[in-house]
Every structure is written in structure tokens, then in C-alpha cells.
């Protein structure tokens, strides 16, 4: 069975993908520092350093892999896929990206450097979603440093290579996403030298928090056809 490596969106941890495991998919969800069991570890502020850390976590002895990432996770998955392509014994069969324009398209409005309240308002505006935990003062103090680091990592990201990925790409987007337009999502077609597919899902930017089963089924169907 193909293993699906799942990378988190800003502020999220590996446990988000726990419910995705089952008969359809074998999930590999590496944990980034600064969250969940690694809450006391310094979070990354650079995508390429994060990929170095992820490479040391993964069991890459060989096999077939696909990758999925949403928003920040999309660029992490893209950079990790480039590292995996060409590794001896490793086959990258598909990259699934979500809620993100292609790597060369940065966000015009930024949240990095704003005061705490302005930062959370801007991130909430971007996502169309605000996690209830951020309304609790103690949880906010605990989670805010990692969320800030993740947003900085995403907003300062520069792709590691201009070469297209030698693997098919499917991009998912919430049909009501006000952060990433349909054209911006379709721009991922430029990031691959192989097949490209664009799928619209019900919901906004954070559609996957509600439409997880539909997303899992769509991914599994594509992997079965490989």
C-alpha cells in the first residue's frame, strides 16, 4: 500500500490526521516541533530547515509514497516531495496540495510582525476560521509562539528549486475559499512535469475540518488508480 505523508497547516499538529487512517489509506504524519508532544521544542521558522528535520524523522528505507499538505503544509509537502524524488528505492507516486497557490505566488497581505491581537485577527481573516482554543488566555499564550513561527515560515518561503516536480499533482480547494482563488489553485499545474488535476470541495479555506471524509475518499481513489 502507498504511504501518505501528511503535513500540517499553520498551528496544527500531527494528530489532525489521526482520523484519516483506515482501510483506505496508510497515514504517516510526522510531528513538527512546538506542538503537541513537542510543545516545548523551538518551532521552525524556515521551510527548508523544517524539511531537514522531517527527513530525519521519516523511515525512508524504500517504498511508494504520496504526500498531502494544506496551506503551509502544501509548500512543506512540495519541498519534501522534491527531496524524495530520485532517492534510491523511493517512489513518489502523487503530490496532493490544498488551500495554497503554487510556490512562486506569495501572499500580498502579511501577518508577520503584527501585535498579538492584530496577528490573530489577520490570520483569522486569511483562514475564515479561528480555533476556539485561541479564545482561552492560557491556551493562547501556549499556542501563539508556534502559530507565529508557522506563519513567518510560510510568508518568507522561497522555493528550493525552479524545476517542476517529477510526479503528478492534484490540488484541492474549498469552493468558497476567499484566501486562495480558483486561478491561484490552478497555478500548481506549472509545478509538475506530469499529470495535473484540480478538485473543488464544499466549504471555505478550512474546508478540510468539515469535509475530511470526502477528501480522504478523493485521495484514496486517485491512489488506487496509480
pLDDT (tens digit per residue) in 146-164: 999 999 999 999 999 999 9
Residue 77 clears pLDDT 70, i.e. is over it? yes
End-to-end CA, the chain: 11
Domain membership of residue 85 as a residue range: 3-224
Place of cell 524545476: 163
Of the listed ranges 5-9, 69-73, 129-133, the one predicted with least confidence: 129-133
pLDDT given at position 173: 97
Distance CA 169, CA 146 (A): 29
Distance CA 173, CA 27 (A): 21
Number of domains in the chain: 1
Query: pLDDT band at residue 105, thresholds of 50, 70 and 90?
Result: confident
User: What CATH number has the domain bearing residue 197?
Assistant: 3.40.50.1820
Number of Cα atoms under 13 Å in the Cβ half of residue 157: 32
Q: What is the pTM of this model?
A: 0.94
Helix locations, the chain, DSSP H: 47-57, 72-84, 116-127, 137-155, 182-186, 212-224
Amino acid at each position: 500500500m502507498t504511504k501518505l505523508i501528511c503535513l500540517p497547516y499553520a498551528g496544527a499538529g500531527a494528530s489532525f490526521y489521526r482520523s484519516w487512517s483506515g482501510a483506505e489509506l496508510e497515514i504517516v504524519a510526522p510531528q513538527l516541533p512546538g506542538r503537541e508532544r513537542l510543545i516545548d521544542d523551538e518551532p521552525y521558522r524556515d521551510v527548508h530547515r523544517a524539511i531537514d528535520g522531517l527527513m530525519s524523522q521519516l523511515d525512508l528505507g524504500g517504498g511508494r509514497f504520496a504526500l498531502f499538505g494544506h496551506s503551509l503544509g502544501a509548500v512543506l509537502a512540495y519541498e519534501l516531495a522534491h527531496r524524495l524524488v530520485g532517492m534510491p528505492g523511493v517512489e513518489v507516486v502523487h503530490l496532493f496540495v490544498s488551500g495554497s497557490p503554487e510556490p512562486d505566488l506569495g501572499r500580498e497581505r502579511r501577518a508577520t510582525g503584527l501585535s498579538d491581537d492584530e496577528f490573530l485577527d489577520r490570520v483569522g481573516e486569511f483562514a475564515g476560521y479561528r480555533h476556539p482554543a485561541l479564545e482561552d488566555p492560557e491556551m493562547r499564550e501556549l499556542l501563539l509562539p508556534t502559530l507565529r513561527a508557522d506563519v513567518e515560515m510560510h510568508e518568507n518561503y522561497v522555493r528550493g528549486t525552479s524545476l517542476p516536480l517529477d510526479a503528478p499533482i492534484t490540488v484541492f480547494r474549498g469552493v468558497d475559499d476567499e484566501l486562495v482563488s480558483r486561478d491561484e489553485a490552478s497555478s500548481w499545474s506549472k509545478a509538475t512535469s506530469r499529470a495535473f488535476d484540480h478538485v473543488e470541495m464544499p466549504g471555505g479555506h478550512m474546508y478540510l475540518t468539515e469535509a475530511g471524509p470526502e477528501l480522504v475518499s478523493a485521495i484514496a481513489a486517485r491512489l488506487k488508480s496509480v
